[in-house]
Structures are given as structure tokens and as C-alpha cells.
Amino acid sequence: MTTACYFDPYCIAHYPGPGHSERPARLCEIVNTLSKKSAFKKLQWPAVSPAKLEDIQLVHTKRYIDFVFSSVPKSGYQKIEVNEVVSEHDDGEVTTLCPQSGNAALYAVGAVTAAVDDVMKGKVTNAFCAVRPPGHHAFPDKSMGFCIFNNVAVGARYAQKHYGIKRVAIVDFDLHHGNGTQAVFEKDPSVFFCSIHQLPLWPETGYEQETGIGNIFNVVTKPNLPRAAWLKRWRQTVLPRLRQEDFDFLFISAGFDTHKNDQKGCQLLETQDYFELTADLLSIARDKCANRVVTVLEGGYNARASAASAAAAVKALMRVKK
């Protein structure tokens, strides 16, 4: 048993247009690193199938799913996001489709459901899903922040529906608030969602008073927080709260835009910190959910920094012995 990386080339073919920061190179660099470096020679690469619409409907409305597929252009680009939230940090970029984007969105969700299948069936110890488009800003009925379908949210519901998982925990350490994931689960006691993110910053939600029905835990970090202070906040807030929760499956929404070299944010984490963050979560997962962990790529806009950070996270996953 080992760690597996779930990926499909369609996730690279998704191209929101020239100059868009959510660009294919983000994922190319991650896949190149994980497939070529000798440290990852034991990593498995199972085949991924497109998600079934009935599984996407565990989170998204049929009307929104139909809207997405009817919006996929035959050529060129089609914006599908109404840019409602504008802040000084907002660069004005929105979710945009190209002819391959419908398939990319299906394969991104399909990667996560395949990872859940293989973890639950004991075929792999744990998983990293190398996917785009990202998911954590996608709402049940709208796209936002480059996200089409909420990959992690579908994975959580899928684990519950198909494998009888009673309670899921999702920890999101992307620079930005996982507002879509929060919206999906904020009234659902069967899911605990924790997001640590920067404020002020787009999408300007995720304040600590947003607690859902007690199942949402938001941790705010200030811009330019010194690295040691960020890590202290993680250790003193996220980890103890996660230890208090009961869950049978853990998803990690892994965004690497808190890296010090990332152009979107102004946090100061270093590459090796993503090994530690992942290892911290894995040690709690060992006690709570028998190591059932699926990590899913969210943001991260410096391709080289994201690839090194993803590699650090995968190294932590590969260290788990079942």
C-alpha cells in the first residue's frame, strides 16, 4: 500500500485565457515534479474517470450543472462568473471556460471520487489529487474564484453516500477563505469545516464569528504575518480544534498561495512548511479516522513554489505506514 496521485491531462488542457493566473503551468510543474523526481518513484498514478453527474449533484444544483456545460464554448473563451466581490486585493480575474473546461471539471471531481474509492477499498493508503480547476470557492449554484465544481465538497458527500462515512472533516489551508465549501456545509452537522486564511483579502468572508451550526471554524491571519506567527496560529487554533472533533475521513484543501514567493498573497510560508502542515494533520487522522486522508489541490500561483510545496505535502503523505 502506498500513496497515489490522481490526475488527468484534461486538468492541464483547461485554459482560462492568456494572462490568467489560474494557468496550466501551475499543474504541469506539480505533475512533472511528482512524476520525475526519484523521491516519488513509489507514488502510484491510478487512472481517473470523469465524475458522474449524479455525484456532482450531491453538492451542485442540476440547473447550475446544466449552465456550466451549456456555457462551454466551441472555441475561444466564456466567462461564467459574476464578479460580485471587489476588493483592493481583487485582480478582476474570473472563472472562464475554454472548449476543454467541461471535461477538466469532470475529471477534477472524478479524481477526488476515485481517490475516495481507493482509500476506502484499501487499495492505497492516502491520496493527493493534482487537479484544476480548483474547487473551494464553488457554491452549489454558482462559480467563483476560478472554481467550477467544488471537488472537495463532492468528495465528502460521495464518501458519506457510497461508503457510509458518518462524519467528514475538511481542513483548508489555502490563502483564501474556502467560502464555497463553507456554504455547502454550514448547516450540516455531519461535516466539520476548518479554514485558515488571510483577511482582509478576497472574497472578504471567513471571519471567526462565522461558525455555521458550530461545525465551521474560521481562523484569520493578517497580511504579512511573520512565518513563525502563522505556524503558531496553526498549532494553537487549527490543530487543537481538529483534535476535539470526531470524524471518519479527512480531506485537505491544499492551496499553496501562502508560500512566500506566491504573487497572489502576502504570507510567508516556506516550502518545507507544507510537509509539516500535512504531517500535523496526518498525525491527527491516524488517531481519528484510521489514516483515511485525501488531499486536493486548490490555489497556488507561483508554479515552481507550488510544485515544491506539493512535493513536500506528498512526502508527508508517503511517510504514512498503514
- Chain positions contacting Zn ion, by CB under 5 A: 174-176, 255, 257, 299
C-beta of 175: minimal distance to Zn ion in Å?
4
- Whether 259 is catalytic is no
Nearer CB in complex with Zn ion: 50/135: 135
Considering the complex, state which of residue 177 and residue 288 has its C-beta at the smaller distance from Zn ion: 177
Cβ 45 vs Cβ 35: under 8 Å: yes
As a whole number of Å, the CA-based R_g of the chain is 18
DSSP β-ladder status, 191-198 and 216-221: parallel
Which residue in 60, 137, 176, 177 is the catalytic one? 137
Name which of 50 and 265 has its Cβ closer to Zn ion: 265
Q: How far apart are CA 46 and CA 7, in angstroms?
A: 8
| Furthest C-alpha separation in the chain | 50
SS3 185: helix
CA distance 132 to 151: 9
- Give the C-alpha separation, 149 to 142, whole Å: 9
Task: Report, in Å, the least distance between residue 196 CB and Zn ion.
Answer: 12
For Zn ion, the closer of residues 230 and 247 by Cβ is 230
Cell of 177: 477563505
| Residues acting as catalytic residues | 137
